[in-house]
Each structure stands twice: as structure tokens, then as C-alpha cells.
Amino acid sequence: MLPISSSISPDDVLSGCLLLVDKPQNWTSFDVVNKIKNLVRKKFNLKKFKVGHSGTLDPMATGLLLICTGSWTKELHQLQKLDKQYMGEVTLGVETNSYDAEGEIKFTKDVPSLSEIDLLNCIKSFIGEIEQTPPAFSAIKKDGKPLYQLARAGKEVLPDPRKVTVHDIQLIDHDLPKINLLVHSGSGFYVRSLAHDIGHVLGCGAHLSALRRTAVGQYSIEDAFSMDEIVKAFS
């Protein structure tokens, strides 16, 4: 486990460190990387500076993003395979082409009367080692191009299913058509695909309407800095 920065010191960021960042909604992971990179370049009058991240978060999502700076970018490989933990909100009865709230609606359907037992039986079927098909709108590459580029160009995209591990899924609460889940998964798992597949099993369609990553391995969102705090440290 790499040691994390307990405070934001521009000098430490320059020499190399691991920063835990609470990614804001509507920022891409690359937006966070570029912002930190530009802060360092401006502060120390540099032309180039290395910043990298592990575990991309979609723009809609918030939460824990692991950022390595300077000489520590070579340690990113240590972070790639860590387990993840998410809080996700799934909205039943509406399916989108991206499997989340940012996509186009494919169809809407009445949500059946579902008991808590119905919901628990459904989500429990996804625990363990399962085959999951990633969303067409994802950064996974096929023929050298990210799938989302092909999907946005109107081309038919059929991602290959792959084995992923789900350690646990808990039903936190439900007020249909919305259900809230706590998901503990291995790397490479898409909560968007989980939401889509839950809708398929329940027969009414579904999409992921909110997502927050709360942990990566032993790293917790409780130790993360906001982007405002990072910007302030460099002012």
C-alpha cells in the first residue's frame, strides 16, 4: 500500500506523491489530472510535469480518484488491480444506451410491484465471479479505438463479455423506481452494466442514475481532498 499525502504540499506534489481526490460531478478523470498538472506547471514555471490516475470515473460519477504525481507515476501499476467500493443509485423502468443517466433513453416501462425479497434475490444473483458485458459507451478499446468513439459515431458496438468478481452487493434502501446499492467489486467491474442487467432480470429495464466511489483497496474517500482544497493549496 502506497503512503498517501496527509496534507497538500506543492513541494511534495512536485517531487512525487499519491493524492486521494474527491472527483466532482461533471468532471472527467482527465480533467482532474490536467488541472493538477497545470497547477504544478504554473506554480513552478515548468513546461512539462507528469500526473497520472488509476481507475477512471465517468463524468457523472463522484468520489475517490487515485492520482500519482511526478516520480510516483511509475507506481501507478500497483494501484490498477485494487478492489473498488461504490454507492450507486439505480432507477428502474428506464433503459438508456449508455446504461446511465447521461445516455439517450431507449425505452420506458412500468415497474412491477417488487418486494424487498424480490430485490434481494435479484442482486444476490450477481455476487461472485460472473460474466459481465461492458457498456458500449466505455473506454475499452476494440480494434485500437475506444468503444465510446465507435458508439458515438453510430456504429454498432458489441463489447465482448468478460469475467469480473463481485465480492458483495447490499441493498441500502429502496423507494421504487429507485434502489440504492453498496457494491464491493474487483477491478474491471462496471456498475453501469450491473444497473442495466438488474433491469433486464426484473423485466422493466434500468439505468444507473447516480454513482459515488467510496474506496479503492484500503484507500478511503474520507481521506480525499476536494478540488477546491487542492486549488487553494497552490494559490
Provide the sign of the torsion angle of the four alpha carbons 69, 63, 58, 144, taken in this order: positive
118 has catalytic annotation: no
One-letter amino acid of 180: N
Catalytic residue among 22, 58, 100, 197: 58
Kindly list the distances between the CA atom of residue 119 and the CA atoms of 6, 125, 199, in Å, as whole numbers in the listed order.
40, 10, 11
List the grid coordinates of 205. 429495464
How many CB atoms lie under 10 A from the CB of residue 18?
A: 20
Residues annotated as catalytic (active site), given as ranges: 58
